[in-house]
Amino acid sequence: MLPKPSLKFSEQIVCANVLVLAVKMSERVFNFSAGPAMMPEPVLERARDEMLSFGGSGMGIMEMSHRSGLFGEVLGRAGSGLRTLLELPANYKVLFIQGGATLQFSMVPMNLLAAGATAQYVVTGQWGKKAAAEAARFGTAEVIYNGEPEGFVSVADQDELRLSSAAAYVHYTSNETIDGVEFDYDLDAGGVTVVCDASSNILSKPIDIEKYALVYAGAQKNIGPSGVTVVIVRDDLLKRTLREMPKVLSYEAIAANDSMLNTPNTWGIYLISLVCEWLQEQGGVAAMEKRNAEKAGILYDAIDSSDGFYRGHAERRARSRMNVTFRLSSPELDEKFCAEAELLGMNGLRGHRTVGGIRASIYNAFPRAGVEYLVEFMNDFAARN
Ligand code: PMP
């Protein structure tokens, strides 16, 4: 990880050329990117070591048939790793699908929302809004909570949601990656089918899976590389065949073929298996929750104690532990902050292109030392500006 030079930040910035060199020499930076995001270093090292020959086979995973016994074991380990970490009961299936979380915006209604039927959408950020828009192509997407007029700064309370038992399902986004707002509870919808986009906080804490019928997550934040999406689905949903559709988009068909209806993202699934092993070694998702709470707490404390120099985006109760969003007094100062941070080996801090500001994404694999380094820089930057 990046060595901390003994110079003051201001001196380091003056010596930018020297510093760029230092960063290059240390190879790795603190990468605050929202996804694809930092992977656990031991996972990357192991993947490097096994790149040319996996399991003594004389070939790498990327070169190996997905129908081979060795890959079958990898697929099994990725699935059982997720099952163990999330304590999935036997009636939930784990599927590995391509097309990102964005394809799930369509696959969910294609599979679960009959033409003429209604699904309810809780919209607390830009991704939930996109999911609702996509569902409206297949049936009625009733938005029962919309945080947009307030600027997506909060989440819904359980008791303000008018859930309907007639709805095909209710969909929400447990963590909104762009806006930095996160639910701190599992939606309890009684008998209503709950579908959750957990792309940016899956595995960051334990969840009560039995409250959900379907959870999906693009891997590239907390689970592995981009190009593979995890879908956890309760098996009674697999029987809801509603319309003619391509087989490759049918949960039932994918589950019946153990995610091998066609060639899956073998490399992505392999890395998921390694990330699951790493998470187990770290103490599982309960240990992650504790660490993530501490990391986010350090950052929010720095924002709150800055006398308004840094202004947090989300309301306190909805603050994300994964994506910490804040602003300075002007877009120019935001930019200066990001540019200086980059010189100091902190990358990926610019907010999403649609909203600007600063976003520090600190998923499971992001080290606490990186958060402390950022806070040190924030205090220094505030004093100088
Ligand atoms: N949902 C959420 C919460 C996300 O953060 C993202 C990606 N950042 C998406 C959906 C879309 O994911 P993908 O790019 O994998 O389609």
pLDDT at 22 over 70: no
| CATH class of the domain defined by 7-36+284-384 | alpha beta
Which pLDDT value is given to residue 6?
A: 73
CA of 3 to the centre of ligand 1 (A): 33
The model's pTM is 0.94
Exactly one of 93, 129, 205, 221 is catalytic; which is it?
Answer: 221
How far apart are the CA of 100 and the centre of ligand 1, in A? 7
> Region 310-329: what's the mean pLDDT?
97
- Clarify whether 295 is annotated catalytic: no
Average pLDDT, the chain: 94
Give the residue whose CA is nearest to atom 10 of ligand 1: 101
pLDDT grade, residue 362 (50/70/90)? Answer: very high
Q: Which of 146-160, 169-183, 235-249 has the lowest mean pLDDT?
A: 235-249
Could you tell me which CATH class the domain 49-281 is placed in?
alpha beta
d(CA 356, CA 375): 20
Sign of CA dihedral 273, 278, 280, 281: positive
Ligand 1 atom, smallest distance to 176 CA: 3
Residues 186-196, mean pLDDT to the nearest whole number: 92
Q: What's the pLDDT tens digit per position in 98-119?
A: 999 999 999 999 999 999 999 9
For the cut 90, the answer to whether the pLDDT of residue 23 exceeds it is no
Q: Which of 93, 127, 295, 334 is catalytic?
A: 127
101 lines ligand 1 (CB under 6 A): yes
DSSP assignment of 314-369, as one string? S-GGGB-SSEEEEE-SSHHHHHHHHHHHHHTTEE--BPPTTT-SEEEE--TTS-HH
Tens digit of each residue's pLDDT (9 = 90 or more) over 266-318: 999 999 999 999 999 999 999 999 999 999 999 999 999 999 999 999 999 99
Pocket test of ligand 1: the residue of 121, 200, 320, 361 to mutate, having most ligand atoms within 8 Å of its CB, is 200
Say yes or no: CB of residue 218 within 6 Å of ligand 1: yes
Percentage of the chain modeled with pLDDT above 70: 95
pLDDT tens for each residue of 205-228: 999 999 999 999 999 999 999 999
Q: Domain-by-domain residue ranges, the chain?
A: 7-36+284-384, 49-281
Would you state the pLDDT for residue 190? Answer: 85
The predicted pLDDT at position 17 comes to 55
* 49 assigned to active site: no
Compute, in angstroms, the gap from residue 179 CA to the centroid of ligand 1.
12
CA of 89 to the centre of ligand 1 (A): 26
Separation of CA 366 and ligand 1 centre (Å): 19
pLDDT of residue 326 exceeding 70: yes
Using the mean position of ligand 1's atoms as its centre, give its distance from the Cα of residue 227 in Å: 11
Test site for ligand 1: of 33, 98, 102, most ligand atoms within 8 A of the Cβ: 102
- Identify whether 267 is a catalytic site residue: no
- C-alpha distances out from residue 161 to 81, 157, 172, 190, 358, Å: 34, 7, 11, 12, 31
- For range 332-353, the mean pLDDT: 96
* Cβ atoms within 10 Å, residue 106: 17
Q: Kindly report the protein residue whose alpha carbon is nearest to atom 15 of ligand 1.
A: 100
pLDDT of residue 19: 55
Category of 94 on φ-ψ map: left (φ > 0), alpha (ψ -120 to 50) or beta: beta
What digits encode the pLDDT tens for the residues 32-85?
A: 999 999 999 999 999 999 999 999 999 999 999 999 999 999 999 999 999 999
Ligand 1 nearest-atom number relative to CA 173: 3
Predicted confidence at residue 166, as pLDDT, reads: 95
